[in-house]
Structure 1
Amino acid sequence: MKKLEKIQSAVPHHTLLCNKPSPSSCNDRPNPPEILDHSHLRTGSRASLLSHPQTVQMYSDIAIKRKDMLTVQCDLAIFLIQVAKATKESDPDRCFYLTEAKKLLKRAASRGYATAQHHLGNLYISGLLHNSNNDHNDSKTRWDRAFGLFVQASKHHHADAAYRAAICYEQALGTGRDYGKAVQFYRKAAALNQPGAMYRLGMITIYGKLGISKDIRNGVKWLKRAAEAATKEYPHAVHELALLHERGTEGAVLFQDTAYCIELYSRAADQLDYAPSAFRLGECYEYGHLGCVKDPALSIHYYGLAARQGHGEACLAMATWCLVGSPKVLLPSEAEAYGWACRAAEKGLARAFYAVGYFTEVGIGVQSSPGEAIQWFRRAAAAGDPRAIQKLKDRDLLQESNPKQQICNIM
């Protein structure tokens, strides 16, 4: 009972219903009506409780017997994958869930079901199977298996699979690099309104990549279509359109429009949770860029949105704000400043290495440790930070009278 409650709490009830097959597949069929009552449960003297693996096995057997219900098999497999993701790697049930999911997807994929082919390909490249049944799951093998499945699914007009196949051809994943075929599959996926493909096609057309002639006007058209179809998984086109409106384009295809630029950045940050857009807004409200009025509260808000998603530059910006604070908005906190600087350093930023070194040397938010500080300065110098290089050359460098002001300047 405890195991069942654990799984139910880890995976929302609507997870299965949310993973509906893509309508782009020509052989997809509508899902059967949801069972909203409890008539399918045994009650009274006939009631019985099964462990979750036994319950899964029971429903797996039902799905297998109903050969015409490929959607049921695929949805069950997706559900099992979600359960596995919510299960600790040390839990033996995790291997069971993934093995069953793989079996169901392979069975449906072998019958030409495009959605199953696509999900099976994604399962291979996800790395989730690396501990299941001692399967051969090195990166090359995973992509080799996935590539063929993506191509098969794309033949049934599965948009996401066509997009994945294009990436494989462009980046030589599971197949040889072939820019011509990459463009071909990007076009196929874009024609099916796949936002990632429309964005990629727009970018390579605007900048003349992958053997395509440069055509800014046509590329912008694809970028606009991608922005209209943008999702949290594919927010990139909205941000790129904002960048283009920030500076304008050659041939006056797009004019500079700072107001619309901010509108696009806001949409990408607020609605699509796109960290680079949130970071750009943080800069705009901190320094008054792009016609924005300086607003510490909004700057901290947007930097925070980006930093919590692991955006390195935003983490460093938050370190600065936490150090100096802002009246009625944010109280200064050396400990939080040090923490954000460390998170920025985890992203490999040379400036962050130097900042953490300075924090450690002076003792801001952490106990002073000149020896540890030198190690951070060495990392910063190796990453090309000129201040760290100079500091290592000259250990007699004079300290500023106000350490907090100096750290604000260096970040």
Structure 2
Amino acid sequence: MDRGKEMLYDTHIKMYPPSRKEPISQRITSNSPSRPVPYPVEDTQQPMSPIPLQSTHNLQSGRSTPSSDGRSKVMTPTNSRYDQPFTFQSPPSQGRSTESLKNARSDTNYTNNNSSVDTFQSASDVSKAALPPPPYVETDDMETPQILQEKMYRKPSDYAELADRKSQKRSSSEKDLTPKRDLSQYSDIAIKFHKVYEATINDSPNFTAEVQMEWCETLLQFAFIEEFIANYNINGDKLKRTLSAAEMLKNQKIILEHALKVLTKLITLQHGPALYLMATLYSHQPYLDVKIQQVIARNDSKALDYYSRAAALDVSEACYRAGVCYEYKRGTPADLNGMRCMQKAIHFYEKGALDCDNIACMYKLGMLCLQGVKDAKQRSLLNQDVKVAMSWFSRAIRRDEKVGSAPDPKSQDSTAGGAKKADRVSPQAMYELAKLYEFDGLAPALQESLTNAGVSRNTTKALQYYHRCATGYSYALAQWRLGQCYEFGQLNLGVAANKSIAWYAQAATAKPRGNPMAMMSLSGWYLTGATNVLKPNNNEAFKWARKASQASEGKLARAEYAIGFFYENGVGCTADPNAAREHYQKAAQAGHRKAHDRLQNMLAQWNGG
């Protein structure tokens, strides 16, 4: 995959977080990250020291049946014990960082569609048998070797006594499934963990898919919370002392490996959300706050396989991500050409939009219909149809109450999957509708297509959509566009420096990284100042230009040119001709004409000197 497509894939695959309930780690912190905005910036992470994963093909399959409360109760496979015990050799090297999960080799085996389930062995060699990790305590009704040795000396009356003792032991074990603990000394995160643990213990006879899935997600997240793994074990017990670095690493391994065992069992039983979670782990794009690149090697082929299998089970987000993988050829078979990949991408987008009501898929179909899809020989795979495109955009925002009215921020209205209302409306689609109704900034060919379809400029609708998108959904691109409108008096708005600066500031400070174009606009305001609103400040102007360069990873030509100008003239910084030339070169390579001219002038001055 070329660099451009890789950048777009990484941007689009993370555009929509899953419409599941909030991950536990986000509920712990007060400032959970917001939805990434789809401007072209790249955010790739390299895999680090993955624990070896070994694939086995002998798990028993199961089936799920609905329970009385509507949740899926999963039938336990024939072998109810997890496939391998866990043991650990000598403690790993010292150090609190999880980067110590080394000794690793990555699993390079690729899977095809409908491949067998991956199971995960211990990172250490198994030297002796051990019990499965809690809370799954194995109850074995078979007679122990001691009983077998003594059997010949027993009388018939002894067997009844033995049966009573075993019955009492079993009854006592069932009563102790959820032992009462004094949680007064527990931290807030430990109490959250303990609640999920108790629910899992109570569900252990049934293995309800939704309960076990929450347990798996909880284990994955808490394994990377140092405060937890240093003071609590997998059963939620508070330890008598804080663990050392080596002990923490061992505790983390136990938790992680058990999480992957539970996930494997759920996958064996064809639980759709589990397949989707596994796909996100393999693609290193998890919806959970986990450093999974330290545990599982990135494998795009397996990720696509699991996304596709989850999509076949109508997992909404899997349809979208499978479509993105095929659109940008990430993990696709080498013999699948570009047009065939696009056909599969459109198939998954349509399935997500029509069968799963997925707003992300609706948005993607709208974008594809807006431009049309052709192969290298200009043969049409999907005809351009602006009316169909606008229809998809409108469907993606139809749950929006009314254009121009702000939603109640306290509203907890949600879908069955737990998504808040803001997650059931596509701000991207709303922004695209605003652009279409604004009309003027579009390419001439697209303007002509809209005119032929009977769509004309409507500044009122455009402004309503921009404002709704910016205020109701905190969409950074819409906030930046409103800043422009107030700066230059566009869309029938009057020039208002204070409002322009306020909107630019919101967009520039948006999570997770801010909009680089808004940062550059703020830089410009600080450079010139605004009467009775903002005093000129060259240092701030330079700082915001640097932030724009960092946020765009050097790909925003306007930012690179501005920094070159600042360095050349010592504006807000110490003059540095070499640094100026470096940034001018980046801007010139991106097609910035003025940067090219400045480079020529600098070379002429140096040659003349």
- In the TM superposition, what is the alpha-carbon distance from 1:229 to its structure 2 partner? 4.7
Q: Which gives a bigger RCO, structure 1 or 2 (Cα 8 Å, sep 6+)? A: 2
Does residue 115 in structure 1 map to residue 258 in structure 2?
Answer: no
Per the alignment, residue 143 of structure 2 pairs with: none
Q: 1:113 to 1:266 in 2, by over 3 A?
A: same
Per the alignment, residue 387 of structure 2 pairs with: 217
589, 593, 597: which one pairs with 1:390? Answer: 597
Per the alignment, residue 160 of structure 1 pairs with: 317
Does the CA-based 8 Å contact 2:71-2:209 persist in structure 1? no
Q: 1:80 to 1:217 in 2, by over 3 A?
A: same
CA offset digits 1:8-47 (Å, max 9, x no partner):
x9652599xxxxxxxxx99797579xxxxxxx77356x98
Does residue 354 in structure 1 map to residue 354 in structure 2?
Answer: no
* Higher fraction of helix: 1
Does the CA-based 8 Å contact 1:239-1:277 persist in structure 2? yes
45, 57, 72: which one pairs with 2:211? Answer: 72
Q: Distance in 2 between matches of 1:280 and 1:49?
A: 48
Q: 1:229 to 1:106 in 2, by over 3 A?
A: farther
Per the alignment, residue 521 of structure 2 pairs with: 317
- Figure out how many residues of one structure are paired with residues of the other and give that number: 367
- In the TM superposition, what is the alpha-carbon distance from 1:190 to its structure 2 partner? 0.4
- In the TM superposition, what is the alpha-carbon distance from 1:251 to its structure 2 partner? 2.3
Alignment of 1:3-402 (within 5 A): 11-12=26-27, 30=70, 42=180, 62=201, 65-83=204-222, 92=249, 98-126=256-284, 128-132=291-295, 135=296, 137-138=297-298, 141=299, 143-176=300-333, 177=336, 178-191=341-354, 192-209=356-373, 211-229=381-399, 231=422, 234-247=426-439, 249-309=450-510, 310-346=514-550, 347=552, 348=554, 349-395=556-602
Q: 1:240 to 1:74 in 2, by over 3 A?
A: same
- In the TM superposition, what is the alpha-carbon distance from 1:56 to its structure 2 partner? 9.8
Q: Distance in 1 between matches of 2:347 and 2:489?
A: 43
- In the TM superposition, what is the alpha-carbon distance from 1:243 to its structure 2 partner? 0.8
Q: Distance in 1 between matches of 2:477 and 2:399?
A: 19
Q: 1:48 to 1:393 in 2, by over 3 A?
A: closer
CA offset digits 1:324-383 (Å, max 9, x no partner):
222343333222111101112222222212211221222222223334323333333333
Q: 1:255 to 1:94 in 2, by over 3 A?
A: farther
- In the TM superposition, what is the alpha-carbon distance from 1:321 to its structure 2 partner? 0.9
SS at the partner of 1:289? coil
- In the TM superposition, what is the alpha-carbon distance from 1:258 to its structure 2 partner? 0.7
Gapped runs of 5+ residues in structure 1? 1-8, 16-24, 33-39, 399-411
CA offset digits 1:73-100 (Å, max 9, x no partner):
1122333444467669x98466665544
> Partner letter of residue 364 of structure 2?
R
SS at the partner of 1:353? helix
SS at the partner of 2:499? helix
- In the TM superposition, what is the alpha-carbon distance from 1:106 to its structure 2 partner? 2.4
RMSD between aligned alpha carbons? Answer: 3.7
Q: 1:199 to 1:26 in 2, by over 3 A?
A: farther
SS at the partner of 2:331? coil
Does the CA-based 8 Å contact 2:546-2:563 persist in structure 1? yes
Does the CA-based 8 Å contact 2:213-2:274 persist in structure 1? yes
Deviates more, 1:219-228 or 1:60-69: 60-69
Deviates more, 1:62-71 or 1:284-293: 62-71
TM-score between the two structures when normalised by the length of structure 1: 0.77
- In the TM superposition, what is the alpha-carbon distance from 1:277 to its structure 2 partner? 1.4
> Partner letter of residue 294 of structure 2?
N
Q: 1:82 to 1:225 in 2, by over 3 A?
A: farther
Q: Distance in 1 between matches of 2:537 and 2:252?
A: 42
SS at the partner of 2:397? helix
Q: Distance in 2 between matches of 1:316 and 1:78?
A: 40
Does the CA-based 8 Å contact 1:26-1:156 persist in structure 2? no
- In the TM superposition, what is the alpha-carbon distance from 1:55 to its structure 2 partner? 6.0
Q: Distance in 1 between matches of 2:542 and 2:66?
A: 55
SS at the partner of 2:283? helix
Between the two proteins, what is the percent identity of the paired residues?
A: 28
Gapped runs of 5+ residues in structure 2? 1-23, 31-63, 73-177, 228-244, 286-290, 375-380, 401-421, 440-446
Q: 1:377 to 1:222 in 2, by over 3 A?
A: closer
Does the CA-based 8 Å contact 1:27-1:114 persist in structure 2? no
Larger Rg: 2
Q: Distance in 1 between matches of 2:518 and 2:302?
A: 38
- In the TM superposition, what is the alpha-carbon distance from 1:174 to its structure 2 partner? 2.3
- In the TM superposition, what is the alpha-carbon distance from 1:244 to its structure 2 partner? 0.8
Does the CA-based 8 Å contact 2:199-2:211 persist in structure 1? no
Deviates more, 1:330-339 or 1:276-285: 330-339
Q: Distance in 2 between matches of 1:333 and 1:60?
A: 57
CA offset digits 1:262-307 (Å, max 9, x no partner):
1111122222222221111111110011111111112112211222
Does the CA-based 8 Å contact 2:370-2:385 persist in structure 1? yes
> Partner letter of residue 588 of structure 2?
A
Deviates more, 1:259-268 or 1:360-369: 360-369
> Partner letter of residue 226 of structure 1?
A
SS at the partner of 2:531? coil
Q: Distance in 2 between matches of 1:48 and 1:296?
A: 53
Q: 1:292 to 1:97 in 2, by over 3 A?
A: farther
Q: Distance in 2 between matches of 1:167 and 1:68?
A: 33
Q: 1:65 to 1:203 in 2, by over 3 A?
A: same
> Partner letter of residue 467 of structure 2?
S
